[in-house]
Structure 1
Amino acid sequence: MQYRPGMFSEVSIRNGMKEWIESRFDRCDNPSIYNELPHEVKDVLDAWIFANILPGKRTSTRRSVYGLKTDFQRATGIYLYSGAFAGAMVKAGYRPMNPSNPSGRFNVITNKNGVG
């Protein structure tokens, strides 16, 4: 399924995604929640990260998970918890700057063509 901005809210209500999100609120910052995402959402998220995020070379390229997931939501219309986005980043090979806070910051740059 191809997503466009604003579409996910329609799709999520029909497919129970709203209930999925609400039922996992207590684990919203845990990166392992990525593993519980619906398959089609994981596919969109993984493809977006691959196309729009690159490793940073300096500490000045730090990006917060919250900012990155907001860029993703603007581009696709899909709302995610910070933990789910952080889990996807780790799966894609990126490492958090502070391992004790995986939903914090990553040293990455973004492809401005697909962000925002």
Structure 2
Amino acid sequence: MLLYVIGDMAVTRKLDIEFLAPVLLQMPYEVSAILKERDGRKLHVAAEVRAQHTGDIVASAEGVFIVVDLAHFIAALRPEIRARESDLSSRRAVTSFAIQPGEKNDV
């Protein structure tokens, strides 16, 4: 979601996740991320997952993402999907969001 906020599309180069506590099914969590550094096309990102009922951090992550243009993604699509996905005007800016069990979470 952070990539929507900064306005770039990117692919994952490296992602390290540390689970600090069990991440259970059917429990609500809040995910937040920050852009720690931008070095050319490289984005260095950190994120946390917190249990909503306690606020405890249950997982943390750091990653490196490489900015790419839309053509990178469109080239990988089948032709029938490529035509349908050409309009990206519905982007929404989100810095954190809640994952609610049993709900469709369109972000």
* TM-score > 0.5, shorter chain as reference: no
Q: How would you bin the TM-score normalised by the shorter chain?
A: under 0.3
User: Normalization by structure 1: what TM-score?
Assistant: 0.23
Which TM-score applies when normalising by structure 2?
Answer: 0.24
- Larger radius of gyration, structure 1 or 2? 2
Structure with more of its chain in strand, by fraction = 2
Higher percent of residues as helix:
1
